[in-house]
């Protein structure tokens, strides 16, 4: 049981899914964790505090102003816990956490948390898709919290949609996986490319694609959580920078090629998650192209970044990962790419599964295995990819960079 000895605070928000917190507490304890419970006042309308006292042997904390406790319970629990899991995390609770409010025991404990923080959202699908919620979620993740769910399923009113709280067994499994990983990428230098590239036709138009950069940014965030030093070479996206990453912003395929080729030899792992344009206009017009009859564009090939890294690497990077986005013959095309470009791993997905949105369905292909994965969040897929990267790193030695002169650290 990889939760043996772990100390976990479960924070319960005021949503109908609060009843699932009972099963979550039982499951965490079954896997060896020591659990304490804090509840918002709203949560006590859905499930009684005495239930958790019976399960954990400790009273559930519901009031910052309780006169029977002499200390600062939120400070002590925040210091005590290896992780704080808010389940369910309602729209209102996450909004208040984003604003830095600390006027109830759940929010105050979150503000004092020393360990990792997880939110398991649960709400109606229209509340989940509300722009305020999306912005708050992005900010919480940017500050270091992790999101567990939500999943698509039956909601309290019988509608089907995204917003259902992840099942307690799955939350416990995610926590087990999190603690088992630990800092498995500590002292590993990782370079990740993300997003689309834009190939300019003129000052106002460009050739691009539908990539949002979500997959590459998820890889960067999760690599950072696992202890890696991350350089993120990003095309044009509308995403916050992963906190702690060295972000290099580029626009075109040639700019991305230059940024990667300048850095890859000082990197242990290169993950090419960007959707790089294969072609660019042969000529970029200096002025806006005027409307006239049919327009003919002459396109030329862009450099193949993955192939160039694969051909030129010697000792580093130790692991090279590419992505294959296909509309047909997925496995065959991905295996061909693996061989032609001297990669160690190819993440293969179809255009309708992986280019946009928050989820993906992929197949991991290396020289000796093919591993189809179910549909999952891009964050979860990022960890599946990094699990495989970690295994590949263990199979071959890394070669440290020797810096001299102006490159030497102070």
The CATH number assigned to the domain holding 59 equals 3.40.50.1950
Quick one: which of 64, 151, 55 has its CA closest to 108? 64
Give the chain's radius of gyration (CA, Å): 24
Alpha helices, H only, 188-316: 214-225, 253-263, 305-312
Scanning 99-213, the segments in alpha helix (DSSP H) are 105-111, 125-129, 131-142, 168-181
Single out the residue of 91, 81, 95, 37 nearest to residue 62, CA to CA.
37
Q: Which of 132, 165, 181 is the last residue of a domain?
A: 181
Assigned domain for 402 exists: no
The answer to whether residues 151 and 240 belong to one domain is no
Task: Give pLDDT, residue 182.
Answer: 72
Domain tally for the chain? Answer: 2
Domain shared by 231 and 295, yes or no: yes
pLDDT at residue 281, as a whole number: 93
The verdict on pTM exceeding 0.85 is no
| Spatial distance between the Cα atoms of 178 and 184, rounded to a whole number of angstroms | 11
Q: N- to C-terminal Cα distance for the chain?
A: 43
pLDDT of residue 184: 85
CB 150 within 8 A of CB 167: no
Q: Of 181, 198, 219, which one is at a domain's C-terminal end? A: 181
Answer yes or no: is 99 within a domain: yes
Instruction: Specify whether 222 is located in the same domain as 363.
Output: yes
Q: What is the mean pLDDT of each run of 10 residues along the chain (410 residues)?
A: 86 94 94 94 94 92 79 88 94 94 93 92 92 90 84 80 88 84 86 96 90 92 89 94 91 96 95 94 90 88 95 89 86 89 92 65 91 84 92 70 33
Is 310 found in the same domain as 257?
Answer: yes
157 flagged as catalytic = no
Looking at the structure, tell me whether residues 169 and 196 fall in a common domain: no
Supply the pLDDT for residue 395: 83
Report residue 16 as tokens. 């109908």
Q: Are residues 362 and 378 in the same domain?
A: yes
Residue 401 is predicted with a pLDDT of 39
Please answer whether residues 31 and 178 qualify as being in contact, where contact means their C-beta atoms are separated by less than 8 angstroms.
no
DSSP class of 182? T
Domain that residue 19 falls in: 7-181
Is the Cα torsion angle 21, 24, 30, 35 positive or negative in sign? negative
Task: Please pick, among 209, 294, 349, 360, the residue that the annotation labels catalytic.
Answer: 209
Are residue 159 and residue 196 in the same domain, yes or no?
A: no
**120 and 93 in a common domain:** yes
Q: Is position 175 within any domain?
A: yes
The answer to whether position 365 is within a domain reads yes
* pLDDT in the model for residue 357: 67
Residues 6+ apart with CB under 8 A from 391: none
Q: Would you call 197 helix, strand, or coil by DSSP? A: coil
Structure confidence by residue, pLDDT tens digits, 162-171: 888 989 998 9
Residue 403 belongs to a domain: no
């Amino acid at each position: 049981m990889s939760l043996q000895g772990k100390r976990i605070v479960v924070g319960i928000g005021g949503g109908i899914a609060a009843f699932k917190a009972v099963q979550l507490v039982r499951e965490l304890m079954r896997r060896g964790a020591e659990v304490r419970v804090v509840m918002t006042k709203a949560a006590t309308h859905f499930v009684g505090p005495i239930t958790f006292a019976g399960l954990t042997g400790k009273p559930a904390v519901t009031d910052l102003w309780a006169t029977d406790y002499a200390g600062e319970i939120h400070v002590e629990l925040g210091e005590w816990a290896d992780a704080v899991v808010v389940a369910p995390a309602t729209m209102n609770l996450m909004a208040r956490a984003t604003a830095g409010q600390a006027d109830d025991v759940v929010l105050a404990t979150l503000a004092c948390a020393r360990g990792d923080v997880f939110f398991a959202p649960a709400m109606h699908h229209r509340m989940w898709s509300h722009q305020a919620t999306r912005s708050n979620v992005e900010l919480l993740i940017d500050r270091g919290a992790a999101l567990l769910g939500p999943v698509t399923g039956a909601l309290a009113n019988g509608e089907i949609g995204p917003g259902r709280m992840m099942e307690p067994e799955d939350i416990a499994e995610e926590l087990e996986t999190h603690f088992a990983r630990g800092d498995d990428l500590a002292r590993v230098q990782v370079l990740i490319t993300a997003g689309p590239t834009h190939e300019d036709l003129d000052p106002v138009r460009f050739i691009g694609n539908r990539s949002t950069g979500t997959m590459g940014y998820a890889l960067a965030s999760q690599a950072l959580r696992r202890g890696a030093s991350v350089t993120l070479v990003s095309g044009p996206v509308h995403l916050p920078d992963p906190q702690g990453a060295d972000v290099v912003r580029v626009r075109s395929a040639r700019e991305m090629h230059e940024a990667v080729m300048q850095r890859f030899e000082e990197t242990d792992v290169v993950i090419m998650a960007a959707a790089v344009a294969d072609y660019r206009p042969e000529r970029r017009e200096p002025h806006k192209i005027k409307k006239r009859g049919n327009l003919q564009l002459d396109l030329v090939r862009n450099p193949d970044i993955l192939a160039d890294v694969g051909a030129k690497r010697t000792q580093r990077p130790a692991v090279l990962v590419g992505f294959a986005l296909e509309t047909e013959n997925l496995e065959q095309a991905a295996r061909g790419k693996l061989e032609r470009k001297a990669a160690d791993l190819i993440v293969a997905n179809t255009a309708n599964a992986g280019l946009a949105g928050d989820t993906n369905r992929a197949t991991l292909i290396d020289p000796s295995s093919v591993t189809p994965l179910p549909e999952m969040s891009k964050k979860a897929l990022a960890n599946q990819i990094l699990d495989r990267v970690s295994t590949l790193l263990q199979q071959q030695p890394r070669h440290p960079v020797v810096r001299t002169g102006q490159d030497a650290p102070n």
